[in-house]
Amino acid sequence: MDRNYRNLSNIYNYIKNDDKFLIRIAASVYEKENQNMKSNDEIIEIKYEYNQAKYYKNTDPELYEY
Protein backbone atom coordinates (compact mmCIF):
# COMPACT_ATOMS: atom_id res chain seq x y z
CA MET A 1 0.00 0.00 0.00
CA ASP A 2 1.48 3.29 -1.05
CA ARG A 3 -0.90 5.90 0.34
CA ASN A 4 -2.72 6.32 3.64
CA TYR A 5 -0.64 3.56 5.22
CA ARG A 6 -0.49 5.34 8.58
CA ASN A 7 -4.25 5.05 8.89
CA LEU A 8 -5.04 3.40 12.23
CA SER A 9 -7.66 1.20 10.64
CA ASN A 10 -5.15 -0.17 8.13
CA ILE A 11 -2.60 -0.86 10.86
CA TYR A 12 -5.24 -2.63 12.95
CA ASN A 13 -6.26 -4.84 10.02
CA TYR A 14 -2.62 -5.74 9.30
CA ILE A 15 -2.20 -6.84 12.91
CA LYS A 16 -5.53 -8.68 12.99
CA ASN A 17 -4.61 -10.58 9.83
CA ASP A 18 -1.10 -11.26 11.12
CA ASP A 19 0.32 -9.44 8.10
CA LYS A 20 3.86 -8.17 8.17
CA PHE A 21 4.25 -4.52 7.29
CA LEU A 22 6.70 -1.68 7.25
CA ILE A 23 5.78 1.94 7.77
CA ARG A 24 8.09 4.83 7.15
CA ILE A 25 7.08 7.88 9.10
CA ALA A 26 7.97 11.52 8.73
CA ALA A 27 9.33 13.45 11.70
CA SER A 28 5.96 15.21 12.07
CA VAL A 29 4.03 11.96 12.46
CA TYR A 30 3.91 10.11 15.79
CA GLU A 31 6.17 12.79 17.26
CA LYS A 32 6.65 11.17 20.67
CA GLU A 33 7.67 7.86 19.11
CA ASN A 34 10.01 9.68 16.72
CA GLN A 35 11.68 11.54 19.58
CA ASN A 36 12.39 8.26 21.38
CA MET A 37 14.18 6.74 18.39
CA LYS A 38 17.91 6.21 18.83
CA SER A 39 18.62 5.97 15.09
CA ASN A 40 16.95 6.84 11.79
CA ASP A 41 16.21 3.19 11.05
CA GLU A 42 14.66 1.07 13.78
CA ILE A 43 11.57 -0.78 14.84
CA ILE A 44 9.27 1.15 17.15
CA GLU A 45 6.05 0.27 18.90
CA ILE A 46 3.18 2.61 18.14
CA LYS A 47 0.42 2.65 20.71
CA TYR A 48 -2.77 4.51 20.11
CA GLU A 49 -4.77 6.45 22.59
CA TYR A 50 -8.39 7.51 22.80
CA ASN A 51 -7.83 10.74 20.88
CA GLN A 52 -6.52 8.68 17.96
CA ALA A 53 -9.23 6.01 18.14
CA LYS A 54 -12.35 8.02 19.04
CA TYR A 55 -13.26 8.48 15.35
CA TYR A 56 -13.70 4.72 15.06
CA LYS A 57 -16.20 4.40 17.93
CA ASN A 58 -19.11 4.50 15.47
CA THR A 59 -17.42 3.64 12.19
CA ASP A 60 -15.42 0.60 13.36
CA PRO A 61 -16.40 -0.52 16.86
CA GLU A 62 -14.11 -3.57 16.71
CA LEU A 63 -11.08 -1.35 16.17
CA TYR A 64 -12.27 1.08 18.83
CA GLU A 65 -12.53 -1.70 21.43
CA TYR A 66 -9.13 -3.16 20.48
pLDDT digit string, tens, across residues 3-36: 555 677 888 888 889 998 877 777 777 777 778 8
Amino acid 2: pLDDT = 46
> What's the pLDDT tens digit per position in 48-64?
666 777 777 888 888 87
Query: Would you give the DSSP letter of residue 8?
Result: H
The Cβ of residue 30 has, within 10 Å, a number of other Cβ atoms equal to 19
Return the domain boundaries, the chain. Answer: 8-38+45-65
Which residues does 64 contact at the CB level (< 8 Å), separation at least 6?
A: 53, 54, 56, 57
The pLDDT of residue 17 is 93
Q: What is the DSSP string of 13-35?
A: HHHHTT--------TTSSHHHHH
pTM: 0.53
